[in-house]
Amino acid sequence: MKNKNIIKLNKKISRRFIFLSLIKGSIVGAISWRLFDLQLIENQKYEKLSDNNQFDYHLISPDRGRILDRRMRLIAGNEDAFHLVLNWNQNLNTDNIIKRISKVINLEEKDIVSFKNKIKNIDNNFSKKIVITKNLSKKDLSKLVVRSVEFPEITFFMSKRRIYPQGNIVGHITGYVGGITNKNTKNYNNILSTDLKIGKSGLEKFFEKELTGKFGRKRNEVTSKGFVIESHVYENTIPGKDIQISLDMELQAFAIERLKRGNLKIQNINSVNNKKNNNSFFYLDDNNHIYKDKNNNIVDPNSGSLVVMDIENGEILCSVSSPGFDPNIFSNELGTKEWEYLKKNPRSPFLNRSISGVYPPGSTIKMAVALAALESGLIDYKTKFFCSGSRKLGDSEFHCWSKDGHGKLNLIEAIERSCDVYFYELGLKVGINKISLMMKKLGLGQYYDLEIDDRAKGVVPNKEWKLKRDGLRWSLGETLNASIGQGYILTTPLQLVTMTSRLASNGLKITPTFLIGKNKNGFESLKINNEHLNYIKRAMERVVIGENGTAKNYKIGNKNIEMAGKTGTVQVVRISETEREDGVVKNEDRPWEKRDHALFIGYAPSSKPKYAISVVVEHGGSGSSVAAPIARDVFKHLFGFKQTG
C-alpha cells in the first residue's frame, strides 16, 4: 500500500518536475533572448547611447578676428577674461561662500544677483559649474588664486572678451557682440559654448562669418555626475580673420570732438561748480568736459553727424555720430541701469546718424537742382532771375531766407549767396521729376552696397511717389519746397557726402565703402556734362571765397588748399505768416528741438578735390555759422594745418 503510494507520488513528482523544468527553461530562454536582443540586435543603438553618456561634445570658439583702422590701429580686439566659477553641489552653503569671496574681492551687485538667481533655478541635484562672475580682473584673480586653499569650491575659467579700445567714438560703425539667445544648453559644463558671442550690429554683424573663424571641437569624457575626466580636442579652431577698414581713428577722434564742441564753450568739470541742468539730458564725455552756450548755460554737446570720404576711391575716412555709445558695455554684462540710461536718452545714442539718420538737405541740394536745370538745357550760365525776398505762387508766398531779397542774380551768384527765390524759379522751370532724377543720379534716395546693414534710404520725392504714398497729386508748391531741400525730401549724411564726391569728381559714380581697396577699379561715369559740373564747382568755390559767400568767414586760408562747399540751414518747424510779420524768433531763443539743423557739404582742395565732407549739426542753427567752421577745421586737420583756438 505504502509502496504503491510512493510510486504514485514519484510519478506525480516527475510529471510536475518536467512541467516545472519547462517553465524554468522558458524563463531562462526568455532572458537569453532578451540579452541576445539587447546585445546583438540593438547593440548599435545602445552603443550610441553609451557614447552619449560617456562623452560630452563641445564647440571651442575661435579667437574673433580684430577690426583695424587704415593705419592698423586697433578698433576691436580681444582680451583675456577670467570667469570665477563655483563647482556647485547640493551640500554647499552658497551664501556663505559668496560672503567669504566678497571679503577678498569686490563682487559686483548684479553678478551676485544673477548668481543667486541661478542657484534658485537649479532643478536637480547633479553637481555643476555655476558662473559667479565673468568679469574678474587679473588683480582679483591673483588675490583668489593665492587663497585657493580657502576656497576649494571655486575654479577659474579663461575666455576672451571683446574690447573696443576706441571707446565711444566709433561704436556705431563697429557695432557690438552679444550672446546667442534662445539656445538650448545642456544643464552642465557648457560654459564654453554659452560664452560664444556673435556680432549684433555694425561691422561685427556684417563680417560675422570672417571674424568668427572656424570652431574647433572638443570631446570631454564625463561621469554621471558631470565631472570631466578627460578632454580631447579633435578639431582645431581656426581664428577669425582680421578686418581692416578705411576709417582713420585719429581723424575720427578729432572730428567727434570738434562736432560735439561746435561753437560751444568747453570747460573741465573740475573747474566748475557743477550745477546740473535738469531739463537737459546731461551728457558727460570721457574727458569730464562740460559744454556751455553763449549765455553760459550748461548744455548738451552738439549731436549730429560728420562723414569724410576719400573722393578717389569712395573710402570713408571718418564717420561720426554724436552722441555715441561705448560698445565695451556690451562685452561686460550690461546692467539694467546703464541700459536704461542709454535707451532713455532722448538724443538716441544708438542711432547711427551718418547712415541711418535722415535729414532734409536744405540748401545743400541746390547744386543738384541747378545741375538738373543745366542738363535739361532750360537755362544756361547767364540766365538770371530776380529775387525780391519772396516768390508768389497762387495764393501762397514762398520766402527767401533773405528778407530783402538778392536782386538780379545768375546761377553762380545764386549758389554763392544761397538765394532761395532763384531756385524756386528753377524748380518751376525744370519740374520735380527731372530734379528727382538728378538727385538719384547723384546718389540720394537709395541704399549703397555698404558694409553696415542698418541703413536709411531717405526720400527723393516725385509725382509718382506722392501719388503712391498719399494718393494725392503733386503740387507746384511742393516743387518749390523740394528745390530748396525742404518738404518731403530726406537724405542721410552719407548720401550727402556721396553726392558731394560725385560732383567734385566731375561726375563719377562714386559709392561709399568702409573697406580699403574695394573700389580700386575706379568708377563709371554718370555722363553729366563736364562743363556744367565745372560751373557748379566754381559756384561751390565761391561759397567759401566769394565776397558774398555764405561760408566766406571760414576759409582754410591757404592758396593751394582751399575748400569748396555749400551751407544748408534746415527749418524744422513751419514759420507762419504772422510770425514772419512779427519778426522771426531768433534761432537761439527757440527750444532745442525747434531750432534749425545746420548743414555743410564740401570738398577740398577745391583745385584738385581729394576729400569730401558732410556735416550735420542737429538743431545747431545756421549752416554757415555752425556747420561750416567744423568742416573747415576737419579739412585743416586732414591737411595738417595747425589748429587755432
Partner 1 sequence: MNYKNKFSSETVVLSLLLKFLKINWLIIFCLAFLGFVGVISLYSAAGGSWDPWAKNHLIRLLFGGILMICIALTPTYIFNKFSILSFFLGLIALVWVKFFGTGDVARWIMIGGISFQPSEFMKLGLILILARYFDYLPTVHLESLSTYIIPLFIILVPGLLVISQPDLGTGLTIILLGLAILFFVGISMKFIIISSLLIVSSIPFIWQQLYEYQKNRILVFLNPEMDKLGSGYQIIQSKIAIGSGGVFGKGFLLGSQSRLNYLPEKHTDFIFTLISEEFGFLGSMSIILIFCLLIGLIIRVSLNTTAIFSKLVAFGVAFLLFLYLSLNIGMVCGLLPVVGAPLPLISYGGTSLLTVLIGVGLVLSINVHEKKI
Residue numbers at the binding site for partner 1 (CB under 8 A): 2, 5-6, 8-9, 12-14, 16-17, 20-21, 24, 27-28, 30-32, 34-36, 38-40, 42-43, 45-47, 49-50, 53-54, 124, 221-225, 229
Long-range contacts formed by 104-112: CB under 8 A, 24+ apart? 104/140, 104/143, 104/144, 104/147, 105/136, 105/140, 105/143, 105/144, 106/140, 107/132, 107/133, 108/133, 108/135, 110/333, 110/335, 110/336, 111/135, 111/333
Q: What's the CA gap between 508 and 505, in Å, rounded?
A: 6
Q: Can you say whether residue 203 is alpha, beta or left, with left for phi > 0 and alpha for psi between -120 and 50 degrees?
A: alpha
Question: What is the C-alpha R_g of the chain?
Answer: 36
224 or 643: whose CB is closer to partner 1? Answer: 224
Q: Where are the beta strands (DSSP E) in 89-172?
A: 128-136, 154-163
CB burial string 273-292: b at 16+ within 10 A, e below: eeeeeeeeeebebeeebbbe
**The C-alpha cell of 64 is what?**
574673433
Q: What's the CA gap between 462 and 436, in Å, rounded?
A: 6
Q: What's the CA gap between 207 and 214, in Å, rounded?
A: 14
CB neighbour class for 468 (10 Å; exposed up to 12, middle 13-18, buried from 19): exposed
CB neighbour class for 634 (10 Å; exposed up to 12, middle 13-18, buried from 19): buried
Q: Which residues, 6+ apart, have CB-to-CB distance to 35 below 8 Å?
A: none
Residue 458 Cβ, how far from partner 1 at the closest point, in Å?
A: 58
Contact assessment for residue 510 and residue 311, using Cβ atoms and an 8 Å cutoff: yes
Contact assessment for residue 208 and residue 60, using Cβ atoms and an 8 Å cutoff: no
45 or 209: whose CB is closer to partner 1? Answer: 45
Q: What's the CA gap between 498 and 316, in Å, rounded?
A: 10
36 or 386: whose CB is closer to partner 1? Answer: 36
Q: What's the CA gap between 280 and 346, in Å, rounded?
A: 9
DSSP 241-303: PPEEBS--HHHHHHHHHHHHHTT-EEEEGGGS-----SSS-----TT-EEEE-TT--EEPPP-
Q: Peptide bond before 493: cis, by omega within 30 degrees of 0? A: no
Residue 24 Cβ, how far from partner 1 at the closest point, in Å?
A: 5
Distances (CA, A) of 236 to 61, 185, 211, 313, 346: 10, 22, 16, 39, 47
225 or 276: whose CB is closer to partner 1? Answer: 225
Residue 18 Cβ, how far from partner 1 at the closest point, in Å?
A: 11
Residue 126 Cβ, how far from partner 1 at the closest point, in Å?
A: 9
DSSP 386-410: EE-SEEEETTEEEE-SSTT--EEE-
CB burial string 594-606: b at 16+ within 10 A, e below: ebbbbbbbbbbbb
Q: Name the β-bridge partners of 86.
A: 130, 154
Contact assessment for residue 292 and residue 299, using Cβ atoms and an 8 Å cutoff: yes
Residue 16 Cβ, how far from partner 1 at the closest point, in Å?
A: 5
DSSP letter for 527, please: -
Q: Name the β-bridge partners of 316.
A: 309
**The C-alpha cell of 639 is what?**
591737411
DSSP 568-602: EEE--SPPPHHHHHH-PPPGGGS-GGGSPEEEEEE
User: What are the φ/ψ torsions at residue 602 (nearest 5 degrees)?
Assistant: -170, 175
